[in-house]
Chain A
Amino acid sequence: MVRGDRIAAGSAFLAAAVAGFMLPDWIISLATIAFANGLVVLGLIVMWRAGLVSFGQALYYCMGGYAVALIGRWGGVTDAFLLVLVGGLSAAGISFVIGFLLARYREIFFAMLSLALSMILYGLLVKTESLGSTDGLNVIVPTFLGYAPHQEKLIVALYFLVLVVCATAALLVGAYFRSLAGALAIPVRDNELRVEFLGMSVSRLIHTKLVISALLAGTGGALAALAVGHVDPNMSYWTTSGEFVFITILAGAGSVGAAFVGSLAFESVRSFAFAMLPQLWEILLGSVLLLTILFLPQGLGSLIERLHWGREAKAP
């Protein structure tokens, strides 16, 4: 990271932290969900840099959420850090297994297969009474390393939990992007054959990206479950995945911070539109997506990424 980026990231984090003490609860709640979803978007960015768009990321989001609901309910675990960790890891574990299959697919086939997999989970959840069927499950009120806040305090505590997790994830993903495995995303997208003949396994690179993005999505789902206090099968429905893809397109793959800014903007506009123009929300959404693709193709493609491809490293 160059110095300017570091300062920007640090001050953004500080501003977000200070805001946690000053802003009204409803804004804090909104930001909590937005940042939790931002983790999912960050995961999509990890894949997108390698040219992969998943229309089934909600699978991992939902896995993370249900993992939290289930172990909170039956495992007697209440610690938020532990719950989130388990949520993220269970999603990553599933992704590791199906990654052996999914890593062989590209482009539209990758999008469709990931969509099918997320719909399998949806179909299962909807029909499973013991998992709450279409009603879903309530999530326990978490504790934080022994601290057990309620009401307004809980909202603030969850916000800081999300903030800390997001900052950690942002730092780690940033480091990953600068590593060889992360930086090879663009070569993989450009020309897999060449990468393979230079001596690197493309399927392993992609498999790693799938697991990383599932870990992020599962963590996001776990945090969202804690913040909302409820999970239901819609977390796995394809429209949920579609929303994440939408935010990713808006955010662009250029930087780690874009995931969170994009997600925050999305949630803000959504709550505004729901209140003011409930009938026009999807028209608004669709138009923005359309305009982005038509007129800001760099948000979609190479331009922003190019600025960041390994340029942070000291110029020789």
Chain B
Amino acid sequence: MLNAFAVLIDGLVYAAYLFIVAIGLTLIFGVMKILNVAHGSFFTFGAYGAASAVGIYFNRGLPEAGGYLLMVVLAMALGLVLGLILERGIMRWVYGRDEVVMALVTYAAFLILEDVVILIWGPGSYAAYQPLLSAGNIEIGELILSNYDLGLIAVAAMLAAACYWGLKFTRYGRLLTAVIFDRETAAAFGINVRVVYTVTFVIGAMLGALGGAIMAPKIAVTLGIGVEVIVLAFAVVAIGGMGSIEGAFAGALIVGICRAATVHLFPQVELFVIYAVMALVLMIRPYGLFVRAQPRKI
């Protein structure tokens, strides 16, 4: 019983993290049909930015709440700048090309940004444990849970709700839905697809950086975190269906729970299980759980 509860909580925490990272990826794919490998770089920048800022901030003994705010704001700012540079500087030149080509362009950007991280922050690793410590723990029965973890679940849930609400009830959300549904018709109806693209890419980048910032206190911020995160996020998005927000939600839950269960039960297969689940889902539903294949009309 305790075990099942622990798996559930661990799974939810991990799912929350995956969802925050995956949602930006799926948003960009849904609207722009770009499989954005550079999403891993957004994550990395967010994590490094937050880690270094948090270190400085907490060492000064300033109020804790401000530390959390700083983390988030800084990550968003980094995402904004990086997203704008990438979209305006590179991506817009390859719109309309093959999806695989666009993915390769983001891969190139990812490679470049990996080294830029080293140039800015050096090859050493950062620890940003202070927020995790200052949040404290809570005991539920025999289980000791970190408040920070619970907060992570809350943030992910809020983000999911915000995305849902944003897409359904705001003007921009409806524009996005229109573009996702049919780009050409949307353009024909006077939607400025170019602006929609820029805004979407920047929002996606900010979400990626936010994911990195939120995760920074929980991990060792070191070289190569982006490389790992991006394949995980791919798996989540592929399971749920690329471009689908509900899919990212479901995919994150599935992967999160599966991983937590294997960590508790069969730790040897931890990494393997995520991709095995992905391969299994794709075998049954090639386009993921929430996306239907469109038969070709002749």
> Given A115-B231, A116-B275, A294-B94, do A109 and B108 touch, yes or no (CB 8 Å)?
no
A111 CA to B98 CA in the complex, in Å?
Answer: 13
A282 CA to B227 CA in the complex, in Å?
Answer: 13
Q: Least Cβ distance of A197 to chain B in Å?
A: 9
A242 CA to B269 CA in the complex, in Å?
Answer: 24
**Cβ-based interface call for A71 (8 A):** no
Chain A 228-252: CB-based contact to B (< 8 A → 1; otherwise 0): 0000000000110010011001000
Chain B 82-105: CB-based contact to A (< 8 A → 1; otherwise 0): 000000001001100011110111
B90: chain A residues at CB < 8 Å are: 290
**Cβ-based interface call for A183 (8 A):** no
Contact across chains for B105 and A290 when beta carbons are under 8 A apart = yes
Contact across chains for A108 and B231 when beta carbons are under 8 A apart = no
Contact across chains for A245 and B104 when beta carbons are under 8 A apart = yes
Partner of A290, one of B108, B270, B279: B108
**Cβ-based interface call for B278 (8 A):** yes
B278: chain A residues at CB < 8 Å are: 116
Partner of B115, one of A117, A249, A283, A300: A283
Partner of A293, one of B108, B116, B271: B108
Most A CB contacts (10 A, CB to CB) among B268, B272, B298 go to B272
Contact across chains for A238 and B231 when beta carbons are under 8 A apart = yes
**Cβ-based interface call for B286 (8 A):** yes
Contact across chains for B111 and A282 when beta carbons are under 8 A apart = yes
A287 CA to B279 CA in the complex, in Å?
Answer: 32
A243 CA to B116 CA in the complex, in Å?
Answer: 19
> Given A53-B100, A127-B272, do A193 and B296 touch, yes or no (CB 8 Å)?
yes
Stretch from B150-158, B194-202, B234-242 forming part of the interface with A: B234-242
**Cβ-based interface call for A126 (8 A):** yes
- How many chain B residues touch the partner (CB < 8 A)? 47
A293 CA to B101 CA in the complex, in Å?
Answer: 8
Q: Least Cβ distance of A83 to chain B in Å?
A: 27
**Cβ-based interface call for B274 (8 A):** yes
A239 CA to B287 CA in the complex, in Å?
Answer: 24
**Cβ-based interface call for B203 (8 A):** no
> Which chain A residues (239-297) contact chain B, with CB distance < 8 Å?
239, 242, 245-246, 249, 279-283, 285-287, 289-290, 293-294
> Given A282-B111, A283-B112, do A113 and B269 touch, yes or no (CB 8 Å)?
no
B286: chain A residues at CB < 8 Å are: 104-105, 109
Closest to A52 in B: B100
**Cβ-based interface call for A307 (8 A):** no
Contact across chains for B272 and A123 when beta carbons are under 8 A apart = yes
A60: chain B residues at CB < 8 Å are: none
Contact across chains for B112 and A287 when beta carbons are under 8 A apart = yes
> Given A126-B271, A294-B94, do A111 and B100 touch, yes or no (CB 8 Å)?
yes
A26 CA to B110 CA in the complex, in Å?
Answer: 31
Partner of A289, one of B108, B272, B283: B108
B98: chain A residues at CB < 8 Å are: 107
Contact across chains for A120 and B276 when beta carbons are under 8 A apart = yes
> Which chain A residues (129-177) contact chain B, with CB distance < 8 Å?
none
**Cβ-based interface call for A124 (8 A):** yes
> Which chain B residues (280-298) contact chain A, with CB distance < 8 Å?
282-283, 286-287, 296, 298
Closest to B274 in A: A123
Contact across chains for A112 and B272 when beta carbons are under 8 A apart = no
Contact across chains for B111 and A289 when beta carbons are under 8 A apart = yes
The A-B contact count (CB < 8 A) is 120
Q: Least Cβ distance of B103 to chain A in Å?
A: 6
Contact across chains for B103 and A123 when beta carbons are under 8 A apart = no
Partner of B112, one of A104, A239, A246, A286: A286
Q: Least Cβ distance of A208 to chain B in Å?
A: 21
Contact across chains for B100 and A120 when beta carbons are under 8 A apart = no
> Which chain A residues (83-115) contact chain B, with CB distance < 8 Å?
101, 104-105, 107-109, 111-113, 115
Contact across chains for A127 and B111 when beta carbons are under 8 A apart = no
**Cβ-based interface call for B35 (8 A):** yes
**Cβ-based interface call for A128 (8 A):** yes
B111: chain A residues at CB < 8 Å are: 282-283, 285-286, 289
**Cβ-based interface call for A66 (8 A):** no
Q: Least Cβ distance of A82 to chain B in Å?
A: 30
**Cβ-based interface call for B109 (8 A):** yes
B105: chain A residues at CB < 8 Å are: 290, 293-294
**Cβ-based interface call for A223 (8 A):** no
Contact across chains for A286 and B108 when beta carbons are under 8 A apart = yes
**Cβ-based interface call for A33 (8 A):** no
A113: chain B residues at CB < 8 Å are: 238, 279, 282
Q: Least Cβ distance of B181 to chain A in Å?
A: 19
> Given A109-B287, A116-B235, do A279 and B115 touch, yes or no (CB 8 Å)?
yes
Q: A115-B231, A116-B234, A193-B298 are in contact. List 13 more A-B contacts (CB 8 A).
A: A116-B235, A119-B235, A119-B271, A120-B272, A120-B276, A123-B271, A124-B269, A127-B271, A245-B104, A282-B111, A282-B115, A286-B107, A290-B90
Question: Can you list 13 A-B contacts (CB < 8 A)?
Answer: A53-B104, A112-B35, A119-B231, A120-B279, A238-B227, A280-B115, A283-B112, A289-B111, A290-B90, A290-B105, A290-B109, A293-B104, A294-B93
Which B residues contact A (CB, under 8 angstroms)? Answer: 35, 90, 93-94, 98-101, 103-105, 107-116, 118-119, 227, 231, 234-235, 238, 242, 267-276, 278-279, 282-283, 286-287, 296, 298
Q: Which 9 A-B pairs have the closest CB atoms?
A: A123-B271, A286-B111, A123-B272, A286-B112, A289-B108, A290-B108, A283-B115, A119-B275, A282-B115
Which A residues contact B (CB, under 8 angstroms)? Answer: 53, 101, 104-105, 107-109, 111-113, 115-117, 119-120, 122-124, 126-128, 193, 238-239, 242, 245-246, 249, 279-283, 285-287, 289-290, 293-294, 300
